[in-house]
Amino acid sequence: MNSYLKSLRTYLKTHEREKIFAGLLICICGGLSASYGILLAVSVVTSGISGSSFLGALPFTDIVADLLLSLLCFATAVPLFLAGYLLAESHYGGIVIAGIFGIGSFITSIFGITIPALGLTISVLCLIGTLLGLWGQRKTIRTKTRAPVIEENVMKLCLRLCGLIAVGCLFFVIAVIFIRGMYSVSWDFVTKPWPVSWSDATAIIEGVKSGIIGIGPQIAGSLLLCGLCELISIPLGLGSAIYLSEYAPQNLLTKVIRFFIETLAGIPSVILGLFGFTFFAHEFGWAQRSLLGGAICLAFMILPWNIRIAEESIKRVSADFKAAAYALGSTKLQTIRHVILAAAAPGILTGILLGFGAAFGEAAVVLFAAGNEGALWPSQLTLTSSDIPTLPGWIYGAFRHLTQSQDVTQGGWREQNVAFAGSLVLIFIFLAVTVAALLVRNHFNKKLAGT
């Protein structure tokens, strides 16, 4: 902490006061824009929970539009912070950015696009900072920072902001789902069965609150479906990876195989779902939605994951391990089984678990090929003729049926929260799978290192 304060004091001593003041004004503008974006986002979330906003009337009547405005405020804050730094460093780029935002904020406030007080405040501060920056350019009391150093600092700041924005988006999504779904999640909610009809939204909400109904069959169906999917995809994916990395020559056939693997990875999941919906029913006489048909389609979806991750893990195994195995008289198959796969196990298992998480959260494939949103647990489970209830399908059905013809400002938010509760359970399961993948990888890495 002391080193940072010392660096700050040194920075302030080596720069002119008007430049520091100009940069500070623009940074204040960025802080105002970011603060309003945070308040707007929190207000949208509270409006979704309680039906009312602590900011009063939101700028738009549509929640998506308000969230987009919130993101726009965050996006506006980033170049303002950069302009503040550039003005402090006496860089012309800061003057240009501050001037553009000053004029733009004035125009948007005049036409009522933004809050007039906020827009005019940012406009005045930006224009004052622009004038101070121009005033500071007329003299050079101290040695300026070289332009390449300034550009490098700006690039480092942009890269840090990119990382923070990516992480911030993740936490924002999780926070919204957690806040809106936490009141409906309970042990009964994740274990009790769901009723047959979606029509009575009020009865469903009261049943969730009282612990009478839940999504236990949907969770069990998703676990069963994804488990069967992995039984299909793991042998195919691991076998393909071993062939491509250890046996396949680098010829046209190998290039064609790799091309189609990449093509399979890029096929939209809805296409795979439609394939399962029609192909298995017409060609094999199965039901249009079935456990085995959905598992095969999900296996096609995650197969490129398993192949690519397993192949890269096998290729990263040190050539010295292979040479030592061959020197001891091992055959190629023995080397692959006992040396290469053992060394590549952390990456292979991580890819398998991450593929399981991706399959568990897939909605389009399971809705078309495994079971629709109204599917219930079958009395007699069969591989080819039973619709399977799944958690992603239930979330889609809950949001579509329970919020149909509902006004968010008139109470429809309560029905939406039931769907958010299912989404929260799905996120927890996915996070559990991800944590399990990390633990498995770390365990095998320590085992390989002998610790």
Q: How far apart are CA 363 and CA 391, in angstroms?
A: 8
Among 96, 71, 102, 103, residue whose Cα is nearest residue 82? 96
Could you report the per-residue pLDDT of 373-383, keeping only the tens digit for each? 777 787 778 88
Among 79, 74, 80, 93, residue whose Cα is nearest residue 151? 93
Could you report the per-residue pLDDT of 107-159, keeping only the tens digit for each? 877 766 667 777 888 888 888 888 877 776 665 544 455 667 777 777 777 77
> Contact 147/91 with Cβ under 8 angstroms?
yes
User: In angstroms, what is the C-alpha Rg of the chain?
Assistant: 29
Q: How far apart are CA 183 and CA 420, in angstroms?
A: 10
Q: Which residues have CB under 8 Å from 18's CB, separation 6+?
A: 132, 135, 136
pLDDT tens for the chain, 451 residues long, are: 555 556 656 655 555 667 777 788 888 888 888 888 888 877 877 776 666 666 667 777 677 777 788 888 878 888 888 888 787 777 777 788 888 888 888 787 776 666 777 788 888 888 888 887 777 666 554 445 566 777 777 777 777 777 777 787 788 788 878 877 887 888 888 888 877 667 777 777 777 777 788 888 888 888 999 889 999 999 999 998 888 888 888 788 888 888 888 888 888 888 888 888 888 877 787 878 888 888 899 998 888 888 888 888 888 888 888 888 888 888 888 888 888 888 888 888 888 888 888 888 888 888 888 888 777 787 778 888 878 888 888 888 888 777 664 544 444 556 678 888 888 999 888 888 888 878 877 877 777 666 5
Name the pTM for this structure. 0.72
Look at the domain 201-449 and name its fold: MetI-like fold (1.10.3720)
Q: How far is CA 135 from the centre of its chain?
A: 45
CA angle, corner 292, sides to 290 and 295, nearest 5? 105
> Contact 23/129 with Cβ under 8 angstroms?
yes
Neighbours of 92 (CB within 10 A): 13
Structure-block tokens of residue 219: 């969770």
DSSP 61-103: SSHHHHHHHHHHHHHHHHHHHHHHHHHHTT-HHHHHHHHHHHH
Q: Is the dihedral of CA 366, 367, 372, 373 positive or negative?
A: positive
Would you give the DSSP letter of residue 383?
A: T
Residue range(s) in the chain whose domain bears CATH number 1.10.3720.10: 201-449
> Contact 416/180 with Cβ under 8 angstroms?
yes
> Contact 222/190 with Cβ under 8 angstroms?
no
